[in-house]
Chain A
Amino acid sequence: MRWPLLALLFLPFSLAAKKSAHEQLVDLAAAGNGLIKLNEKTYDLLTSSKRDWSASIHFTALSPQRRCAPCKEFDPSFTAVARAWAGVAKEHRDQHFFATLDFDDGYTVFQKIGMASAPAVHVYPATEGPNASAKKAPFTFDFQHGFEAGPLAEQLSVHTPVPIPYKPPFDWSRWGSVASLIPIVTLIFRFIKPVLQNRWVWAAGTVLTSLVMTSGYMFTRIRGVPYVGPNGAWIAQGFQNQFGQEVQVVTLVYGVLAGSFLMLIVVTPRQMSAVRQRTQVYLWTAVNFLVFNILISLFRVKNPGYPFKLLI
């Protein structure tokens, strides 16, 4: 009486065993909408030494206590690429699998292959069959183009039987906001028209733009430098380097200097009281001189070889 029950219990396993590894993987992929969620067992299945399929495996650590911010950032990209692959014709689709292995599901695998950091993407080429690759070692995807799905799909396409038909999703929110901006602008155009026609609005915009640009704002944008350095240092070492905060400080310094000149040129000569005017002249000249001193000493920090100094 017991045996048949036990046999029934084992039935699913035996059925599964009858299925070839490839069929199991196809089922898993279909269940996961193109993406296989791996554990130790299925990892071994997927990367078995005799395989006529290839696989892109994404190693990650998504659980909150692992505190892997890049993992969370990259995960949607990989999922999107895997989705895109699910739309390929069947005969090609089943030659390549996308899979994700979370650290908490298979830390022994991480240990086994010496994976110390996440996220990572390895591509295991096929070892048998028509798509077999001469190289046995898995290819490692490098993140030099960032975590976006576009470059990922482009680079993985080299290893898949056919290129991954990935298209970046239409950015509805962006175009929607642009589209909604148009009626808003037309509606309030009457009210902002005097602002747009005021030359001093434009002057402020122009001067601010050139101040910010000449303070190295584009450098921080292009290089993606942090706002401040480690342990609160806000001046980056080196002549060809700077932090985000330096842009603000230098803009302020330039702005104050330019402002003091403008005060002396434009405002002070209009002051009709001799005493007040004299105070203003001395005040702005002093501001000009002192801030210039500060600027020079700031520059000496950046360029220690600079031989000139004023008071400070």
Chain B
Amino acid sequence: MPAAYPLPTDLSPTTVANTASLLRIIALALISSAAIASRLFAVINFESIIHEFDPWFNYRATRVLASKGFYEFWNWFDPTAWYPLGRVVGGTIYPGLMATSGVIYNILHALNLPVDIRNICVLLAPGFSAFTAWATYMFTKEMKDESAGLLAAAFIGIVPGYISRSVAGSYDNEAIAIFLLMFTFFAWIKALKQGSAFWGTIAAVFYFYMVAAWGGYAFITNMIPLHVLVLMLMGRFTSRLYVAYSSWYAIGTLASMQVPFVGFQPVRTSEHMAALGVFGLLQIVAFGQLVRAHVSSKQFQGLLFAAVVFTGAIGFFGIVGLTYKGWIAPWTGRFYSLWDTGYAKKYIPIIASVSEHQPTAWPSFFMDLHFLIFLFPAGVVMCFRTLRDEHIFVIIYAVVASYFAGVMVRLMLTLTPVVCVSAAVALSSLMDAYLDPTEPEVEDEKKESSTPASVVAKSSTSTTTPATPATGKKSKKSKDKETSAPAGGVLGELVSNVASSAVAANSAAPTQKGIFGLDTRVVVLLNTIGMLLFFVVHCTWVTSNAYSSPSVVLSSTNSDGSQHIIDDFREAYYWLRQNTAEDAVVMSWWDYGYQIAGMADRPTLVDNNTWNNTHIATVGKAMSSPEEIAYPILRKHDVSYVLVIFGGLIGYSGDDINKFLWMVRIAQGVWPDEIQEPNYFNRGEYRVDSEASPAMRDCLMYKMSYYRFAELFGSQQAVDRVRGQQVPAQGPTLDYLDEAFTSENWIVRIYEVKKDDVLGRDLKIANAFDQGKKRKRTKPTSRRKAISA
């Protein structure tokens, strides 16, 4: 058989195998270092700092764990959060992340490496991304082969969809969760393939780790049963399936119940019922198979089938009935809102208000996945061609995850691994076909004249003939050897073996295939390599520009191109830490709760653990009410300082005025009589200028944001740079609050809540008196009584 290009023929098979395995190790090492290195932009551009909001809490908890030990951490009651309620931290978190950092910290210190806990927290996510690349390699290897595995590892190492949640400093649950997700899936596939209780147990152990680390474990809890159910419906029940699922479910569920935050949920809530139901169904089917093997009567088999269906239906209605009776909790709002997408906006505005819970527009997909997004369907089709049990897993995963990623931006994270795996399968099939030096033999003229028809016929027959399930690699290889004698010795054999095993499903009909000529190969490969290069450049750009900002420290570019650091948040938090009493309660919108607790070390009313809607609505009400109404609320909650984020001066768009409507909505959910969203609009427009609605102009949030803002501009017109509106020159006045601190760029503004007037007057009247205004002849208002009321 002719070859398109020569290969060395004088290599022994062991040399080839050894070199290939060495190259794989080197490639994996390089991929790991690339994965870690590309996540360090944040440290290089800024500094080694914890990012965003939730990581600040995780960091604070880890510090407690590292300094006081595990048991102290486990029993930690935090009186400064959710003032005055407090929070039982040990029982309301997923401790996996903190425990991981704690273990690393203790190991390093046992080795006499005094590494700061902060640096461990900052670098945990990049470190685990290397593990993720390895786990993805192992997973993809089970789907196709090692070369696809390497491609998948490289993809997931640098793809922005995963980097967005795992840059250095992004110390969040997702940092370790994706590794656990991929490794659990790998162990599951391995268990299923081998029918091994050992791998099933490994899957269960990693499932337990996942449960301890991230609330998204419910994805695994439902993916694996779904896979099993589909396999059973396809008539692919085997004892391997039975062993793998039973061992995973039994051990994994018992283990997951050890996490206090999860507790008895696996037997009491609807999210976990699919796993339980499939477990029961599997037992019934297995029993049915057993009986069928021992009984020959055909009638009895029919009866058996009916019995299986009947018990299955009873089990299903039993679960439904228990849910109805309240023994099993129905779907929680967070999960339910994935199905009924209008649900969250109507009933749980807190969930709908989070920006990462918004639906995803297509540019986000392309930004995060680049060319993988269109290789992904091609890979799914490749999975359909072979359709072994593990390929069905990838197919289900693809459908489910692409739906979820469309509903919520945040769930792009769960889509990314399957996109990488699937794209790698497709790309490696392409490379296999065009790197294989074997050329098919040229057919004679007669045949050539009839080729178009025959090709069409061939492709159509190949699509309709059911592929025999794979019967092991050896038989395939031998078949291939019969059909095509590869040119180019051992190396050529290796290459062509790899190539033909990818399309082995169709080898039932011995058809010749291959690529003619060198130029065709070069063209396709050049195009592919160009795309890959573009992908790398794209990923680097996206990572360095979009995903590496700590959001605690902002940066802008000066006119000469140099970087200008905006450090208002830390400036303000440190001001609080150093200038206020240690027990001074700070009120802010919940977004900043964790940061205030972490950086300023002051008690907060609400924080990012949004467990108490009413408490958050109270803050929302205080922010959206006039001063006279807000003041008693503030005093009742012992609030000493109020903190608002205002971006109008430098154009920071994530400020409180832009979030304000959510505060109004959440407050309206609890006090529909007092707070109404339409009042904050002027004829349907959200305005902050002189046309702002009266409710808007009087509310505390508006006043605190624009207090003395116009003075900054002197005689010029004051302009809010975020909303692009002109602010009236006569700014709002404050009677019950006093400006305490405003940061350099006015991003953070802190107000002190005034104490009661010493003469017992209402503060507004006292203020008017101080300014020399004559008191109006009205009945003295008795606002102060509202405090005790």
Q: Once bound together, how far apart are the Cα atoms of A217 and B407, in whole Å? A: 9
B377 contacts A277, C-beta separation under 8 Å: no
From A13-21, A42-50, A92-100, A281-289, the one touching the partner chain is A281-289
Q: Once bound together, how far apart are the Cα atoms of A118 and B493, in whole Å? A: 77
A274 contacts B451, C-beta separation under 8 Å: no
By a CB distance below 8 angstroms, the chain A residues around B451 are: 271-273, 276
Listed residue (B367, B515, B519, B537) with the most chain A CB atoms within 10 angstroms of its CB: B515
Given contacts A142-B677, A209-B403, A216-B361, contact A264 B381 (CB under 8 A): no
From A71-79, A83-91, A104-112, A254-262, the one touching the partner chain is A254-262
CB distance from A178 to the nearest CB of B (A): 17
CB distance from A232 to the nearest CB of B (A): 20
CB distance from A283 to the nearest CB of B (A): 11
Interface string of A123-141 (1 = CB under 8 A from B): 0000000000000000010
A278 contacts B377, C-beta separation under 8 Å: no
CB distance from A248 to the nearest CB of B (A): 11
Task: Please tell me if B299 contacts chain A, counting CB pairs below 8 Å.
Answer: no
Task: Please tell me if A221 contacts chain B, counting CB pairs below 8 Å.
Answer: yes
Task: Please tell me if A202 contacts chain B, counting CB pairs below 8 Å.
Answer: yes
B455 contacts A144, C-beta separation under 8 Å: no
B514 contacts A207, C-beta separation under 8 Å: no
Chain B, Cβ-Cβ closest to A303: B363
A219 contacts B440, C-beta separation under 8 Å: no
Q: Once bound together, how far apart are the Cα atoms of A254 and B378, in whole Å? A: 10
Task: Please tell me if A230 contacts chain B, counting CB pairs below 8 Å.
Answer: no
Give how many A residues have a beta carbon under 8 Å from the other chain's beta carbons.
69
Q: Which of B361, B454, B672 contacts A158 (CB 8 A)?
A: B672
Q: Once bound together, how far apart are the Cα atoms of A287 and B541, in whole Å? A: 26
Q: Which of A155, A247, A261, A266 contacts B362 (CB 8 A)?
A: A247
A203 contacts B381, C-beta separation under 8 Å: yes
Given contacts A271-B451, A278-B517, contact A216 B360 (CB under 8 A): yes
Q: Which of B407, B430, B511 contacts A265 (CB 8 A)?
A: B430
A264 contacts B362, C-beta separation under 8 Å: no
From A51-59, A162-170, A184-192, A238-246, the one touching the partner chain is A238-246
CB distance from A210 to the nearest CB of B (A): 4
Task: Please tell me if A213 contacts chain B, counting CB pairs below 8 Å.
Answer: yes
B459 contacts A270, C-beta separation under 8 Å: yes
A210 contacts B376, C-beta separation under 8 Å: yes
Q: Once bound together, how far apart are the Cα atoms of A104 and B459, in whole Å? A: 68
Q: Which of B399, B415, B520, B678 contacts A209 (CB 8 A)?
A: B399
B: interface residue count bin: 35 or more
By a CB distance below 8 angstroms, the chain A residues around B531 are: 292
Q: Which of B367, B382, B398 contacts A210 (CB 8 A)?
A: B398
A299 contacts B403, C-beta separation under 8 Å: no
Interface string of B465-500 (1 = CB under 8 A from A): 010000000000000000000000000000000000
By a CB distance below 8 angstroms, the chain B residues around A266 are: 385, 459, 503
CB distance from A203 to the nearest CB of B (A): 4
By a CB distance below 8 angstroms, the chain B residues around A302 are: 363
A200 contacts B463, C-beta separation under 8 Å: yes
By a CB distance below 8 angstroms, the chain B residues around A242 are: 361-363
Q: Once bound together, how far apart are the Cα atoms of A261 and B415, in whole Å? A: 21
Task: Please tell me if B116 contacts chain A, counting CB pairs below 8 Å.
Answer: no
CB distance from A157 to the nearest CB of B (A): 11
B374 contacts A257, C-beta separation under 8 Å: yes
A254 contacts B360, C-beta separation under 8 Å: no
Interface string of A286-312 (1 = CB under 8 A from B): 001100100100010011000110100
A213 contacts B406, C-beta separation under 8 Å: yes
Q: Once bound together, how far apart are the Cα atoms of A214 and B364, in whole Å? A: 9
Chain A, Cβ-Cβ closest to B418: A210
A210 contacts B524, C-beta separation under 8 Å: no
Q: Once bound together, how far apart are the Cα atoms of A223 and B511, in whole Å? A: 51
Q: Once bound together, how far apart are the Cα atoms of A151 and B516, in whole Å? A: 68
Task: Please tell me if B365 contacts chain A, counting CB pairs below 8 Å.
Answer: yes
A241 contacts B381, C-beta separation under 8 Å: no
Task: Please tell me if A211 contacts chain B, counting CB pairs below 8 Å.
Answer: yes
By a CB distance below 8 angstroms, the chain B residues around A288 are: 527
Q: List 26 A-B contacts (CB under 8 A).
A: A145-B346, A158-B673, A202-B384, A209-B399, A210-B376, A210-B398, A213-B402, A214-B373, A214-B406, A216-B362, A216-B365, A218-B359, A219-B362, A222-B407, A240-B358, A246-B362, A254-B374, A264-B524, A273-B451, A278-B516, A278-B519, A281-B515, A281-B524, A282-B523, A285-B523, A302-B363
Binding site for A on B (CB under 8 A): 341-342, 346, 358-367, 371, 373-378, 380-382, 384-385, 387, 395, 398-399, 402-403, 405-407, 415, 426, 429-430, 433-434, 440, 442-443, 447-448, 451-452, 454-455, 458-459, 462-464, 466, 503, 511-517, 519-520, 523-524, 527, 531, 534, 537-538, 541, 672-673, 676-678
Binding site for B on A (CB under 8 A): 140, 142, 144-145, 151, 155, 158, 198-200, 202-203, 206-207, 209-211, 213-219, 221-223, 239-242, 246-247, 250, 253-255, 257-259, 261-262, 264-274, 276-278, 281-282, 285, 288-289, 292, 295, 299, 302-303, 307-308, 310
The 6 closest A-B pairs by CB, nearest first: A218-B406, A216-B362, A203-B384, A274-B516, A257-B374, A213-B402
